Amino acid sequence: RGTAVHRVMECLDFKAILDVDITDDAKIEAFLQKEVSRMLEKGQMTQEMADLVSLKGLMAYMKSDISMRMAQADARGDLFREKPFVMDYKGVLLQGIIDVFWLEEEKIVLLDYKTDRVHTGEELVTRYETQLELYADALCRIFTIKENKIESVKKLIYSFCLDTVIEVE
């Protein structure tokens, strides 16, 4: 289920969210069904993956402030998804794939999607804080904005289980 949700988020046409009335559940659901159909037609996901995706969870995501921020970033060309990285960390070569990050007011916002079944956001922070710190470190090492090196990254988790965004300090 987690892989299927990540695939939808990787392939979703975020710019198109700007044209959806996110106060109307029927319009959100129609948009998401159209997007999943498009992904199936393009071979971006299998039918088995599509069957695992919860439209309810994706609808809650689309109603969140974070979806609009990402849509606006995509429209500006500032949204980056599924970006691999490799870096040396204390003599160990680390590699990973960052779900999504975007530029916002000359800063980087890093977001990691989680589908874990949890009761609180703190559970996710405890499990994934180190992962997000490493992703932020990788972004700080390689990213510059207007010739200025990035020194901090806003770290967020979006929980599909809790339908919320959690900030990681």
Residue 146 pLDDT > 70: no
| pLDDT per residue as tens digits for the range 33-55 | 999 999 999 999 999 999 999 89
Nearest to 156 by CA among 109, 116, 115: 109
Task: Give the model's confidence band at 152: pLDDT under 50 very low, under 70 low, under 90 confident, else very high.
Answer: confident
Average pLDDT rounded to a whole number, residues 73-97:
94
* pLDDT tens string 89-145: 999 999 999 999 999 887 899 999 999 999 999 999 999 999 999 999 999 888 766
Q: What is the pLDDT of residue 105?
A: 83
Class of residue 159 by CB neighbours under 10 A (exposed 0-12, middle 13-18, buried 19+): buried
pTM for this structure?
Answer: 0.91
Q: Rounded to an integer, what distance in angstroms lies between the CA atom of residue 146 and that of residue 12?
A: 28
